[in-house]
Chain A
Amino acid sequence: MENRKLIELKGICKSYDGEQVLKNIDLTVYDNEFMTLLGPSGCGKTTTLRMIGGFEAPDSGEVWFDGKMINEVPAYKRQVNTVFQRYALFPHLNVYENVAFGLRINKTPEEEVSRRVKEMLQLVNLAGFEKRHVTTLSGGQQQRVAIARALIMKPRVLLLDEPLGALDLKLRKDMQNELKNIQKRTGITFIYVTHDQEEALSMSDTVVVMNAGQILQVGRPIDIYNEPANAFVADFIGESNIVDGIMKEDYVVNLAGRDFPCVDKGFEKGQPVDVVIRPEDIDIVPAEKGMLTGKVTQVTFMGVHYEVIVDINDFLWMIQTTDFVSEGSEIGIYIEPDAFHVMPKSEWSEIFGDYSSYSMEHDLLSENTGEEEEE
């Protein structure tokens, strides 16, 4: 991937009715990358996207595109196109006319229009649907029309606002693959907004985790997962046990009343930290051999694995394992040094902890996820 800066956001702030939805956002998007803005509903991801599209103006800060400041450039002059959340297909036009719409506006010759529309419909697997009315299409088909309509403009950047939000799980998986393929084939930069962490991890080159109008972390999916910047990211991406700890010295962290060897360094001696241990990184061993011991309080069969909740000194840990243990049994746990991920304390530290409030927290995060952010 060539590292050419395509879009830069510099110090973007935005408020609605006195409520700050974007707090000093800085972001760089490189050419040809698939970037995902990930965060819970209301985190400002859609607003960020709309700012790039030209549908919102920042209160302060600058939007740069290909070396030029574009704050004052209206949406219809920008070299970006958008796939909207509920597709926003023109209900009075058929599939062909919807896709041809942009070309018609810039007065492309008719032969070229029909050639390119045909190409596009083939690309999104909708050949033969030209005359269909868009209101008669299924959700997945409407989605493809929306993508074709935007891609036909040969944009430098394609903005996608939760494009798969309204589709059912199976269809969503298929469309994820298809979108990724389209992005590879066309080489267009994609900026993708979603609240679905799995979607973000599996599709993107770069993931941007946002919450409460701030960017918390930018990085490759694997880095975001393995090296979360703070408790929020750790909790939002995947499952995690977030434990209060103290950094004794380099490579030694103290938690749950004992010292563990780890691979982290560079903290002050005695600095309080958040320690993340992913549930799949914990091994279950006989109680007498465990680094820590506790009692199994709940076992849930998830298909590939079991989700085991273990009470260790009143802190509920989650463990994902393929070995069955029975509820009520005493077990020990074993954690490899590289499974500890130590993070400095942050404003999110207190919110996330063990799995005693699991379901409530889950509700909090998934609430209103299907809705739009503004208003």
Chain B
Amino acid sequence: MKRSLAQRSVIAPHVVWSVLFIIAPLLFMLFYAFTGPDGSFTFENVSRLFTGNYVLIFVNSLCLALIATVICLIIAYPLAYVFTKLTPKWQKICMLLLMIPLWMNFLITTYSWMTILEDTGIINTILGKIGLSVHMINTPGAVVVGMVFCYLPYMVLPIYSVMSGIDHKLIEASQDLGASSRQVLTKVVLPLSVPGVISGITMVFVPQVSTFYISQKLGGGTFQLIGDTIESYFTGVSVNYHFGAALSLILMVLIIISMGVMNHFADPEDVTGRPML
């Protein structure tokens, strides 16, 4: 069938929009990262990243995100497994219960965590009744709690959807071949749910690396993460778009690399066929 010009050109607005508002902004980020305030080309912004404690900030962010991601996985995987064992009705209810907290803005829930974790907060008030007190707020631990809370459902969902999609006949087949319930889990369910785990990690790790509000509120500014640093160069007092752009650029590159590594582990045969980002 011949395609009319009209049929072909439906893609045009999208292409124009993508060039103007997806590609151009990234080019501007590149441009700002390699220019000084006077508009001349410079490597200064990028080389400055390796001075001071910027390297430490990056390492901190990556480590914290990694820890939070691992904790998410440790909680989410068995949770998803438990979900699949429930009756369909309860699965539905549990999924809904899992989703509801996501509809609450993370600014608010993070603030609530402050209320809970503060030295005079709810946990310590309760502990105080039995004469105990634990300092939690403004520690890396508190930030991790906040991050895990925000992103846990994003880890559960893909794992659950892959697990519940596993053909029950496969499990029956493996039992038929003599697998114990433990072996069913390790030899069948686990390998088959790897794609869900991979996408869960992808969905959770990226926003955790770049988070900025959670660490400000729950970390109390005692240590800086990359997200906070970037934000401070754009909206804070010490505005420097050029250096901020360089920081963002590095963050993006780091994430692309870690995604590439993830993809590589996920499916070594099929890495090239997939978009990098």
Q: Does any Cβ of A come within 8 Å of B2's Cβ? A: yes
Q: How far is the CA of A57 from the CA of B2 in the complex (A)?
A: 8
The B-contacting residues of A in range 25-55, CB under 8 angstroms, are 55
A359 to chain B, nearest CB (A): 28
Of the A-B pairs whose beta carbons lie under 8 Å apart in the complex, a sample of 5, sorted by A's number, is: A55-B1, A56-B1, A57-B1, A57-B2, A75-B1
The B-contacting residues of A in range 60-105, CB under 8 angstroms, are 75
The proximity string for B residues 1-38 relative to A, scoring 1 for CB distances below 8 Å and 0 otherwise, is: 11000000000000000000000000000000000000
Taking residues whose C-beta sits less than 8 angstroms from the other chain, chain A's interface range is: under 10
B114 to chain A, nearest CB (A): 51
Q: Which residue of the partner chain A has the closest CB to B4? A: A74
Q: How far is the CA of A28 from the CA of B50 in the complex (A)?
A: 79
Report chain A residues within 8 Å CB of B1: 55-57, 75
Taking residues whose C-beta sits less than 8 angstroms from the other chain, chain B's interface range is: under 10
The B-contacting residues of A in range 259-295, CB under 8 angstroms, are none
Q: How far is the CA of A178 from the CA of B1 in the complex (A)?
A: 32
A159 to chain B, nearest CB (A): 15
Q: How far is the CA of A55 from the CA of B3 in the complex (A)?
A: 11
Report chain B residues within 8 Å CB of A55: 1
Q: How far is the CA of A75 from the CA of B2 in the complex (A)?
A: 11
Mostly helix, strand, loop or mixed at chain A's interface? loop
- Interface residues, chain A, with chain B CB atoms under 8 Å away: 55-57, 75
Q: Which residue of the partner chain A has the closest CB to B1? A: A55
Report chain B residues within 8 Å CB of A57: 1-2
Report chain B residues within 8 Å CB of A56: 1
B2 to chain A, nearest CB (A): 6
Q: How far is the CA of A55 from the CA of B2 in the complex (A)?
A: 8
Q: How far is the CA of A56 from the CA of B3 in the complex (A)?
A: 11
B31 to chain A, nearest CB (A): 41
The proximity string for B residues 205-246 relative to A, scoring 1 for CB distances below 8 Å and 0 otherwise, is: 000000000000000000000000000000000000000000
Q: How far is the CA of A258 from the CA of B241 in the complex (A)?
A: 98
Q: How far is the CA of A57 from the CA of B3 in the complex (A)?
A: 11
A12 to chain B, nearest CB (A): 16
B242 to chain A, nearest CB (A): 49
Report chain A residues within 8 Å CB of B2: 57
Q: How far is the CA of A214 from the CA of B145 in the complex (A)?
A: 70
Q: How far is the CA of A75 from the CA of B1 in the complex (A)?
A: 9
A196 to chain B, nearest CB (A): 28
Report chain B residues within 8 Å CB of A75: 1
Q: Which residue of the partner chain B has the closest CB to A75? A: B1
Q: Which residue of the partner chain A has the closest CB to B2? A: A57
Q: How far is the CA of A57 from the CA of B1 in the complex (A)?
A: 6
Q: How far is the CA of A55 from the CA of B1 in the complex (A)?
A: 5
B245 to chain A, nearest CB (A): 45
A237 to chain B, nearest CB (A): 33
B112 to chain A, nearest CB (A): 45
A297 to chain B, nearest CB (A): 38
Q: Which residue of the partner chain B has the closest CB to A56? A: B1
Q: How far is the CA of A61 from the CA of B157 in the complex (A)?
A: 56
Q: How far is the CA of A307 from the CA of B2 in the complex (A)?
A: 51
Going nearest first, the 4 A-B pairs with the smallest beta carbon separation are A55-B1, A57-B2, A56-B1, A57-B1
A279 to chain B, nearest CB (A): 42
Q: How far is the CA of A56 from the CA of B1 in the complex (A)?
A: 5
B4 to chain A, nearest CB (A): 10
B264 to chain A, nearest CB (A): 32
Q: How far is the CA of A56 from the CA of B2 in the complex (A)?
A: 8
Q: How far is the CA of A29 from the CA of B139 in the complex (A)?
A: 85
B126 to chain A, nearest CB (A): 57
Q: Which residue of the partner chain B has the closest CB to A72? A: B2
A355 to chain B, nearest CB (A): 37
The proximity string for B residues 185-201 relative to A, scoring 1 for CB distances below 8 Å and 0 otherwise, is: 00000000000000000
